[in-house]
């Protein structure tokens, strides 16, 4: 066989710079001003002070300008990273690339930029149009004659040219053994040429026969520089349409850009246009509502509205303190101080003791978008789609970062991993493996909050240090915590807690969870409303007497969970840590 030519130039400089717009901030971002929801805004560059009024020294001004230049360079580098990665693969003579993206237009723009820098032709094939050139040069063949994918692959072999051959949505033909065999032939023969075949698709479907011959390139969603470019383009179009310059201050513009992170370029352009048409300006609320709708379309992640607050949680003071100390840990100041980004926490505890409510409240407390991952939906769908579902969920969470990923009742989604090889062909084990690997290795500012009610069903690999920053245990509330919970739920229903005997209610609700206390208030108010009376202590005590608490029906499980967490988890409440004694255990046994 003839020697394999190499296109690699070890002395070549960096890839040519494609379009890039300087930006004034990098990711991660600091929290927004108080009262603002959604992701944190970009920090605006500090203007140079005028001389004479406490002005900065020339050295300070120079340092600020150098820092701004570095930030712009970093943003531009991030913007063209995919260009560089693609060019390196082409120069290294990878014969077949699989580019995974739903944004054909952006992906093909990247391919054309790389091809122009490498002086290569770009050919694009689709089942509807056949084989076409992307530039303005005339083709010496009839594109319609090559609609058949087998003929198109032969065309790739026959053309004597330095070129990139892009095949749009060729994955359905991988069920045809003749197509797969032809694809393998092309992959082998292209290594001796300066041609590269790029399979462009929105789903990952690499034939098993070609797993060792195909390099997968995940095309990223637009970052801050590209969203900024799209916004500027939309504003220029709006100026022509409205006949005037839209008044938009820098902070509002930055919030809108941050709010659009996680959207595709087309989705961002559409939501900006919708906001301009509906409100005549850029409205962050419209952007976030549209983003919520788009995230829901994935069917796996849910954009969860963050309306709960830490004040609605009774007790759990140690957990609240831990979260409060990490509120600003995603900012640049924390990196400069030498702190790593928080990874996440695992909340284990008795059902109804505030685990899910805490997850919801953290989104409001930290002012970060809260995404809920339904593990049941990860395993739904066609055979082989579970791994793809998990990959897309992680990719979306990272695109919206900094963000909070909430996984409720984690043990139910991962309970079958131990017997996965015997029950589902190893699918659960593979999904779990990819999830814990991401937990361990992730560098993106995605804070994971996982909750679990049954620790016995959790795989032991999940408990290892490095997966989560901390494992907290939420137990049944103590008497002081129950008093706090009674005041919260009476106040939420527009009742003055001072008119009730809170101490007596706390004593009557011994060994009840926060959720059971809330339902006691609701049941008492239904009875009082039926009797056309104002709710009183008597109504509430009657409702409590009719309640069978979970501590009685799940007595053995709660004791086992306490025994496990005593040495393996951190108490979420200081009151629980003080009362976890043999006497406390005997009390629940005799209840």
Last residue of a domain, one of 240, 273, 297: 297
Q: What is the pLDDT of residue 9?
A: 41
Out of 32-41, 187-196, 548-557, which region has the weakest mean confidence (pLDDT)? Answer: 32-41
How does the average pLDDT of the chain come out, rounded? 80
Segment 514-538, tens digit of pLDDT: 999 999 999 999 999 999 999 999 9
Secondary structure of residue 351 in the 3-state scheme: coil
Question: Could you tell me if 328 and 468 lie in one domain?
Answer: yes
Instruction: Give the separation between CA 128 and CA 146, rounded to whole angstroms.
Output: 10
Last residue of a domain, one of 297, 331, 356: 297
In a domain, 55, yes or no: no
Q: What is the pLDDT of residue 222?
A: 87
Query: For residue 10, is pLDDT > 50?
Result: no
Q: What is the pLDDT of residue 416?
A: 57
Last residue of a domain, one of 164, 199, 218: 218
Query: For residue 244, is pLDDT > 90?
Result: no
Virtual torsion, Cα 221, 225, 231, 235, nearest 10 deg: -160
Sheet containing strand 403-407, edge to edge, reads: 301-304, 370-373, 403-407, 446-452, 344-349, 470-474, 570-571
**Nearest of 253, 337, 256, 341 to residue 290 by alpha carbon:** 256
Segment 21-61, tens digit of pLDDT: 333 333 343 344 333 334 344 344 444 444 444 445 656 65
What DSSP character marks residue 391?
A: H
Instruction: Give the separation between CA 64 and CA 179, rounded to whole angstroms.
Output: 58
Q: What is the pLDDT of residue 418?
A: 54
Structure tokens at 5: 């030519």
Residues 6+ apart with CB under 8 A from 19: 229
**Whether 474 contacts 353, CB under 8 Å:** yes
Virtual torsion, Cα 562, 565, 571, 572, nearest 10 deg: -80
Mean pLDDT of 550-562: 88
Residue 576: φ, ψ to 5°: -65, -40
Q: What is the pLDDT of residue 63?
A: 59
**Nearest of 91, 104, 116, 97 to residue 197 by alpha carbon:** 97
Question: Could you tell me if 123 and 201 lie in one domain?
Answer: yes
The domain of 314 spans 304-474
Out of 220-229, 367-376, 393-402, 577-586, which region has the weakest mean confidence (pLDDT)? Answer: 577-586
Regarding predicted confidence, which is higher, 6 or 229?
A: 229
In a domain, 21, yes or no: no
Secondary structure of residue 133 in the 3-state scheme: strand
Q: What is the pLDDT of residue 585?
A: 43
Q: What is the pLDDT of residue 386?
A: 79
Question: Could you tell me if 488 and 448 lie in one domain?
Answer: no
Instruction: Give the separation between CA 131 and CA 108, rounded to whole angstroms.
Output: 15
Virtual torsion, Cα 106, 108, 113, 116, nearest 10 deg: -170
What's the number of domains the chain is made of?
A: 4
Q: What is the pLDDT of residue 384?
A: 58
In a domain, 36, yes or no: no
Structure tokens at 88: 């390196």
In a domain, 233, yes or no: yes
Quickly state the pLDDT bin for 107 (edges 50, 70, 90): very high
Question: Could you tell me if 110 and 127 lie in one domain?
Answer: yes
Regarding predicted confidence, which is higher, 389 or 546?
A: 546
Query: For residue 195, is pLDDT > 70?
Result: yes
In a domain, 52, yes or no: no
Regarding predicted confidence, which is higher, 342 or 52?
A: 342
Peptide bond into 408 cis (omega under 30): no
Q: What is the pLDDT of residue 217?
A: 92
Please compute Rg for the chain using Cα positions: 29
Mean pLDDT of 110-132: 94
Residues 6+ apart with CB under 8 A from 238: 246, 276
Q: What is the pLDDT of residue 327?
A: 87
The β-bridge partners of 587 are none
- What burial letters (b/e) apply to 541-575, b meaning 16+ CB within 10 Å? bebbeeeebbbeebbebbeebbeebeeebebbbeb
Alpha-carbon distance values, 462 to 377, 441, 458, 562 (Å): 20, 14, 7, 19
**Whether 386 contacts 378, CB under 8 Å:** yes
Question: Could you tell me if 275 and 316 lie in one domain?
Answer: no
What DSSP character marks residue 144?
A: G
Neighbour tally for 190: CB within 10 Å: 19
Give the CB-side neighbour count of residue 552, counting CA atoms within 13 A.
Answer: 10
Structure tokens at 155: 């065309």
**Nearest of 292, 204, 280, 279 to residue 242 by alpha carbon:** 280
Quickly state the pLDDT bin for 426 (edges 50, 70, 90): low
By DSSP bridging, strand 96-100 and strand 195-201 are: parallel
**Nearest of 72, 366, 60, 108 to residue 219 by alpha carbon:** 108
Instruction: Give the separation between CA 100 and CA 201, rounded to whole angstroms.
Output: 5
Please tell me the chain's helix, strand, coil percentages from 3-state DSSP, rounded to the nearest 5.
50, 10, 35
In a domain, 63, yes or no: no
Question: Could you tell me if 324 and 373 lie in one domain?
Answer: yes
Residues 6+ apart with CB under 8 A from 162: 118, 119, 120, 121, 194, 195
Give me the CATH number covering residue 532.
1.10.8
Q: What is the pLDDT of residue 37?
A: 39
Alpha-carbon distance values, 425 to 225, 376, 386, 430, 431 (Å): 43, 17, 12, 10, 12
Question: Could you tell me if 468 and 338 lie in one domain?
Answer: yes
Q: Inter-axis angle of helices 224-242 and 265-279, to 10 degrees?
A: 40
Question: Could you tell me if 409 and 326 lie in one domain?
Answer: yes
Give me the CATH number covering residue 443.
3.40.50.300
In a domain, 582, yes or no: no
Question: Could you tell me if 231 and 208 lie in one domain?
Answer: no
Instruction: Give the separation between CA 313 and CA 396, rounded to whole angstroms.
Output: 29
Segment 256-293, tens digit of pLDDT: 887 888 888 998 999 998 888 888 888 888 887 777 77
Question: Could you tell me if 399 and 424 lie in one domain?
Answer: yes
Question: Could you tell me if 241 and 326 lie in one domain?
Answer: no
Quickly state the pLDDT bin for 409 (edges 50, 70, 90): confident
Instruction: Give the separation between CA 533 and CA 539, rounded to whole angstroms.
Output: 10
Quickly state the pLDDT bin for 382 (edges 50, 70, 90): low
Q: What is the pLDDT of residue 587?
A: 44
Instruction: Give the separation between CA 197 and CA 87, rounded to whole angstroms.
Output: 13
Quickly state the pLDDT bin for 166 (edges 50, 70, 90): very high
Give the CB-side neighbour count of residue 511, counting CA atoms within 13 A.
Answer: 20
In a domain, 528, yes or no: yes
Question: Could you tell me if 111 and 198 lie in one domain?
Answer: yes
Instruction: Give the separation between CA 395 and CA 391, rounded to whole angstroms.
Output: 6
């Amino acid at each position: 066989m003839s020697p394999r030519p190499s296109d690699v130039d070890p002395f070549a400089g960096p890839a040519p710079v494609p379009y890039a717009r300087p930006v004034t901030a990098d990711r991660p971002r600091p929290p927004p001003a108080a009262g603002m929801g959604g992701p944190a805004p970009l920090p605006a560059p500090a203007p140079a002070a005028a001389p004479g009024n406490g002005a900065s020294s020339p050295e300070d001004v120079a340092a600020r300008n150098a820092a701004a230049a570095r930030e712009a360079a970093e943003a531009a580098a991030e913007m063209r990273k995919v260009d560089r990665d693609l060019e390196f693969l082409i120069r290294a003579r990878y014969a077949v690339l699989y580019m995974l993206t739903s944004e054909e237009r952006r992906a093909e723009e990247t391919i054309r930029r790389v091809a122009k820098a490498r002086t290569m032709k770009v050919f694009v094939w689709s089942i509807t149009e056949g084989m076409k050139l992307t530039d303005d040069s005339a083709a010496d063949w009839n594109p319609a004659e090559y609609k058949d994918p087998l003929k198109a692959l032969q065309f790739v072999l026959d053309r004597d040219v330095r070129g990139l051959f892009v095949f749009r949505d060729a994955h359905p033909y991988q069920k045809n053994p003749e197509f797969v065999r032809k694809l393998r032939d092309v992959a082998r023969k292209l290594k001796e040429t300066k041609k590269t075949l790029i399979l462009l698709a929105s789903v990952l479907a690499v034939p098993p026969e070609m797993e060792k011959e195909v390099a997968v390139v995940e095309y990223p969603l637009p970052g801050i520089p590209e969203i900024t470019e799209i916004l500027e383009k939309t504003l220029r179009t709006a100026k022509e349409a409205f006949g005037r310059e839209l008044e938009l201050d820098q902070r509002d513009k930055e919030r809108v850009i941050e709010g659009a992170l996680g959207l595709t370029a087309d989705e961002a352009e559409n939501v900006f246009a919708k906001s301009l048409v509906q409100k005549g300006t850029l409205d962050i609320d419209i952007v976030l509502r549209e983003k919520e709708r788009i995230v829901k379309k994935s069917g796996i992640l849910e954009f969860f509205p963050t309306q709960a607050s830490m004040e609605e949680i009774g007790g759990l003071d140690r957990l609240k303190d831990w979260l409060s100390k990490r509120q600003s840990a995603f900012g640049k100041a924390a990196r400069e101080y030498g702190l790593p980004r928080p990874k996440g926490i695992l909340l284990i505890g008795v059902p109804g003791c505030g685990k899910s409510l805490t997850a919801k409240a953290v989104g409001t407390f930290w002012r970060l978008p809260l995404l809920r991952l339904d593990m049941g939906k990860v395993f739904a769908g066609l055979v082989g789609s579970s791994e793809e579902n998990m990959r897309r969920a992680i990719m979306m969470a990272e695109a919206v970062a900094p963000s909070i990923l909430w996984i409720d009742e984690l043990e139910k989604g991962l309970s079958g991993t131990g017997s996965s090889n015997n029950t589902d062909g190893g699918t659960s084990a593979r999904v779990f493996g990819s999830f814990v690997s991401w937990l361990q290795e992730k560098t993106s500012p995605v804070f994971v909050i996982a909750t679990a009610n049954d620790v016995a069903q959790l795989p032991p690999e999940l408990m290892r240090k490095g997966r989560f920053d901390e494992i907290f245990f939420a137990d049944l509330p103590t008497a002081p915590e129950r008093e706090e919970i009674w005041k919260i739920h009476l106040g939420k229903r527009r009742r003055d807690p001072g008119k009730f005997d809170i101490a007596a209610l706390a004593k009557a609700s011994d060994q009840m969870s926060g959720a059971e206390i809330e339902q006691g208030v609701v049941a008492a108010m239904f009875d009082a409303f039926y009797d056309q009376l104002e709710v009183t202590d008597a109504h509430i005590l009657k409702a409590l007497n009719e309640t069978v608490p979970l501590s009685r029906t799940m007595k053995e499980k709660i004791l086992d969970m306490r025994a496990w967490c005593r040495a393996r988890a951190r108490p979420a409440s200081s009151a629980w840590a003080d009362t976890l004694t043999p006497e406390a255990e005997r009390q629940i046994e005799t209840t």
